[in-house]
Structure formats: structure tokens, C-alpha cells
Amino acid sequence: MSLNNKNILLCITGSISCYKSVDLYRRLKKAGAKVKIVVSSSAAKFISPYIFESFGEEVFEDDAFKSPLSHIDLSKFVDIILIAPATYNTINKFASGIADTLITLTVAAAPDKPKLIVPAMNPNMYANKILKENLKKLSLFNFSVISPATGAAACGDFGEGRFPEIDDIVFEVESALKEKRLKDKKVLVTAGATKEYLDPIRFMSNGSSGKMGISLANAALKAGAEVTLIALNLNIDNGSSIGGCAKYVNGRIKVINRTDFAGLKEALLDEFKKTDILFMAAAVSDYSFKEKSPIKIKTKDVCETEPTPTLKIELIQNEDLLKAVSKIKKEGQIVFGFAAETDSVLENGRKKLAEKSLDYIFINDVSKDIIGSDENEGFLINKSGEIKNFKRESKESLAEKLIEEIS
């Protein structure tokens, strides 16, 4: 679990979106975090602290005088302080050094701990220059901010100020707790399956879900890299969530959507020039149709006295993109390939690593129901021939491990 044994202090302040912090709390717990909660006096008017107590949590009232050293104890307990939702009032207090509540006092006692602010307020309040200046100031002092979503506020005003998606908040918490091993590195990931069209409707493809590539892109971003994802047929809309955690794509990832081999090749060779590390996780078709019909291919009438009509299709072999990339590879660039094998898994993996001049190859034994699954297992082989076996685990956690391996 991504937040295993991490200590998180969830501070809830008095916004109309307080109720969303219950979902947030549950997601943090599901990710393995230990969570303590402080509910401000205003927040307690919007949601009852009893909700969290019902889940068995210790909830602190925002009264620093109730228990003499709770702010010091809490500041020592935390790996990260998450203020969600964070009000206009509390954010500006942080920036002014005011410490008159348990939340502001605990934050004051934890200058070296990471603090993540999730502003949620009316769009005019969020646009207020006092707040904007104070958020800028706080970024110099171990605070980071998750930009609110844009949409209609509870009062009917439209603009930026809504509580963001829970996926985005959990991602940023995980990211804030990760070592930035890939800082200043540019990472390119390909994910998904190519579709080779026979006519405007019919195509040849495979069952790759893109989850491994997406997990690698997210993991590289958390490790501090600038990430570009070439997404094949994944319907990613400007890098947002495409349903379900396994397909969550953080909005800071640059997404290039492509369909077929030709589109992938063009984007890959162009982007590779600007890349330090390439993860080639897409399932690329080895063949394309020699001819593509511009109109739908019609069926012929079956005549009972004659044999069933057949359609003859010719396929041409596609260029090997990993070989193409290795040819233009410059000193210091890393190419990480993936291979799906059903037999002689290690032998075939070693052969591909050498033939395609790769730095790493991860070999999946796809006979083990991996394609399209949320989990993966396989062998990592590096250039020196060292082999590491990775047992079955979620694609997200495997991606984190592979990023650690190469960094």
C-alpha cells in the first residue's frame, strides 16, 4: 500500500466542502496511512467529529488549551500535515504566523515537516490577492498547495475554488513523501495498445490496458521527473482520471494521444530526442495491414451452391521501434523495454535485451493472466545480465519499484 505506516495529520477547517474530507480520510486509510484528525471549531459546524470517532479514530478538537502538549505531540507524530479543506482564514493565518488554534499551533511547531494545503472556497475568495500572495509566501516554507478544481461553487458562482478530486489529493500526499530521485530528469512512457485499421470500422489490436505504463508515468512524476505519456487508445482527456485508481493519470503529466503504429512512431521518435529515460510499455502491433480500405468492406452474398466467400488480407511487418530508438540513442539516455512472452521467458528476454541494445528489460510471462489485469509479475534484466524476480503485486507498486531500480 502506497502510504503504509505513514503518519498523516488531517486538519479539517470550516468550508462547505468539509463533508468531502470523510472520503479523503477513508482513501488515506485504504492506502495504509495512520491518520490523526483535528477538526476546527468552524468545521465542526459542517461535519460532526463523531463520524471519524465512529471509524475508531482519535479526533482532536481545535482547542489548544484542552490538552497542554497536544500540538507538540502531534507535530512530532506527523510525516505530513494535510489541511483539507483549507479555509481562506486558516491559510492566511499560517502565512502571518498566527498560532491561536490547535491547527495553526501544530503547524507552527512543525516547520520542517511537509504541509499540504487543499484550498476550498468561493472563486472570488480564491482569486483574492491577499490569499494569492500568502500562498506564494507559504511555498517558501515547506508548504505546497493543490490547486482547486474549477466549476460551480455552492453559492452558484463559477470559477476556481472547488475541493479537488480525492485521487489528486492522495497522489500529492504520496508524492510529497517520496524522495525526488528523478529530479530534473525527463521521462517518456508509452502505454496502451496500437489499433491497426483495416477499414474505417475494423481494426487489429490486443488486450493491453495501459495500466503498467500509466503506473510508471505516475511513479516517475512522484519521483520528481517531468513526464510525457504517449497514450495509445486510452481516451485520456488532458491527463485526468479515466475511471478507477489503476487508470488515474495525474494532470501534471503531458499526454500525447495516438492510435496506430505510424502515429506512435512519429511521436516516439520526436519525443525521444528530449528524453533521459524511456519506458516502452505499450503493446505495439508487429504487423499492419498492407492496404487499408477507405470505405467499409462489404460482405458478399453467400450462395448455397458455391463455397463460402473468403477475404484475403495481407499484413506487412512493422519496424521494431526499440531498435529504431536504440539507433538514435545518445550517451546517458536510458531505454527500458517490456516484453510479453509465453514460453522460454528468460531466454527470450535476454535475447531481446541484446538485440535491441536495451539498458533494461522487464519480461512478463503473459501466460499468467497479466494482460489487462491490475497486477503484474516478471523478471527485470539489466545490461550486465543481472536478473531480479518480481512476485505478483499491483502494477502501481511494481512501477514504484522499477523507478527505484533505475534511479
Smallest distance, ligand FMN to C-beta of residue 61, A: 12
Pattern 318-357, ligand FMN, x by CB under 6 A: ----------------------------------------
The alpha carbon dihedral of 39, 44, 50, 51 has a sign of negative
Give the three-class secondary structure for 331: coil
The alpha carbon dihedral of 385, 391, 392, 397 has a sign of negative
Which of 70, 75, 90, 285 is close enough to bind ligand FMN by CB under 6 A? 90
* Pick 119 or 213: Cβ nearer ligand FMN: 119
Q: With contact defined as beta carbons under 8 Å apart, do 360 and 322 qualify?
A: no
Biggest CA pair distance of the chain: 96
Which of 42, 92, 257, 382 is close enough to bind ligand FMN by CB under 6 A? 42
Residue 206 touching ligand FMN (CB under 6 A):
no
Q: How far, CA to CA in Å, does 91 sit from each of 24, 97, 165, 254, 385? A: 19, 10, 20, 30, 53
Helical ranges in 153-237 per DSSP H: 166-176, 211-222
Give the H/E segment covering residue 332.
none
Smallest distance, ligand FMN to C-beta of residue 35, A: 19
What region, left, alpha or beta, does residue 247 occupy, with left being phi > 0 and alpha being psi -120 to 50 degrees?
alpha
Q: How many residues bind ligand FMN (CB under 6 A)?
A: 16
Residue 15 touching ligand FMN (CB under 6 A):
yes
Identify residues 110-149 at the interface with ligand FMN (CB under 6 A): 120-121, 125
Which of 2, 21, 40, 250 is close enough to bind ligand FMN by CB under 6 A? 40
Catalytic residue annotation: 155
* Pick 17 or 394: Cβ nearer ligand FMN: 17
Which of 43, 256, 264, 363 is close enough to bind ligand FMN by CB under 6 A? 43
**Site residues (vs ligand FMN, CB under 6 A):** 13-17, 40, 42-43, 87-90, 101, 120-121, 125
